[in-house]
A = this chain, B = another copy of it.
Amino acid sequence: MAKNSDRRTEPVRLRELLQAPPGEGVDLALYDADATPAGPGDKAAGLAATAAMAAPLAGLQERLYAAATAGDRRRLLLVLQGMDTSGKGGTIKHVIGHFNPSGCRIKAFKAPTPEERDHHFLWRIMRELPHSGEIGIFDRSHYEDVLIARVRGLAPRERIRRRYGEINGFERALAEDGVTFVKVFLHISYEEQRKRLLRRLDNPDKHWKFQPDDIEARELWPAYRKAYELALKRCSTADAPWYIVPADRKWYRNWAVSRLLLEHLEELDPQYPGTDLDLERYRKMLLEGA
C-alpha cells in the first residue's frame, strides 16, 4: 500500500513515445500521420499548450547560451526532415520563433553546389554546426545524402551504403563533444500532401512555392518512404535517436516539436554561470560616480 501511494503520476515523456527504437526496422505504414500521441485534446488546447512552452523554452535557451560563456560546450541541434510540404519551414517559423533569434543558427540545405559536391558529403554539414550555447536548426541535412541520393541514384549504391555508418560515427563524435541531437522526421500522409499542394495551387500568394517537381516526386513516394525507413532504422542510435512526429495536423506537429525541445533542454538543465569578480567593488564604483 505504501508502495502504491508513493508512486507519482509521471507525465509522459514524448521522446520515449515518438522515438524510432534504435536498431529496429520501421514500417511507416504502421504510423498514423494524423495521430496526436500524448497530445492535447484538440487544436485550441494544442495552440494554448504550445504557447505556454514559449517562456520556458526561451528561459532554457538563455541559460544554455549563458553557460557557454563560462566554458560549457553543450549545444542542441534540431534536424528536420520530411517529404515536401511536411512543414519543415512552418515548424521553424512557429517553434523556433519562440527563441531569441540571436542564439539560433538556422541552415536550409539545398541541392549541393559544385564546391560542396567536390567534398565529402559531411563537409558542408560540419561548417554549419551550432557553436556552444547555440540552438542549431537544419532544414534538411546530411540525411539528404541517403534519401534523395538513394532515390535518384545520385551516388553509387555502395557509397550510399557506407554513409549510414559514417553518419553514425559523425553524430556520435559530435554527441561526445556536447551536441544534443533532436532529429525529427515530419511524417505526413500521401493524401495530406495532395491537399497541401492543391492549396498552393489555389492561392496566388503561394504560387512561388510551387514546383512541378513537387508532383513528379509523388510518383517516387514509395521509394522515398523506403529510403526514410532505412535511415530511421540504421541511424536512430542511442547517441542521436530519430523521432517520428505525425505531421498531418500542424498544431500537433508544433506542439510535439516544442515538447521534444523542452524535454531535451530540461534534461540538459544548463545553469547561469557564477562569477569570481568582486561585484561589490564594481557596484561601489558605479554608485560613487563611475
Question: Which B residues are in CB contact (< 8 Å) with A66?
Answer: 205, 208-209
Contact pick for A286, options B194, B282, B286, CB 8 Å: B194
A198 touching B287 by the CB < 8 A rule? yes
Docked complex Cα distance between A208 and B63 (Å): 10
Contact pick for A201, options B70, B209, B286, CB 8 Å: B286
Question: Within 8 Å of chain B (Cβ to Cβ): is A2?
Answer: no
Contact of A215 with B104 at beta-carbon distance under 8 Å, contacts A198-B287, A287-B198 already known: no
Docked complex Cα distance between A93 and B139 (Å): 22
Contact of A282 with B102 at beta-carbon distance under 8 Å, contacts A275-B207, A290-B219 already known: no
A198 touching B283 by the CB < 8 A rule? yes
Tally chain A residues at the interface, Cβ within 8 Å. Answer: 44
**Chain B residue nearest in CB terms to A102:** B92
**Chain B residue nearest in CB terms to A285:** B215
Interface residues of chain A: helix, strand, loop or mixed (majority): helix
Contact pick for A277, options B97, B100, B210, B282, CB 8 Å: B210
Contact of A277 with B212 at beta-carbon distance under 8 Å, contacts A101-B93, A139-B102 already known: yes
CB distance from A282 to the nearest CB of B (A): 6
Question: Within 8 Å of chain B (Cβ to Cβ): is A197?
Answer: yes
Task: Please list the residues of chain A having a beta carbon within 8 angstroms of any beta carbon in chain B.
Answer: 66, 69-70, 89, 92-93, 96-97, 99-102, 104, 106, 108, 137, 139, 194, 197-198, 201-202, 204-205, 207-210, 212, 215, 218-219, 272-275, 277, 279, 282-283, 285-287, 290
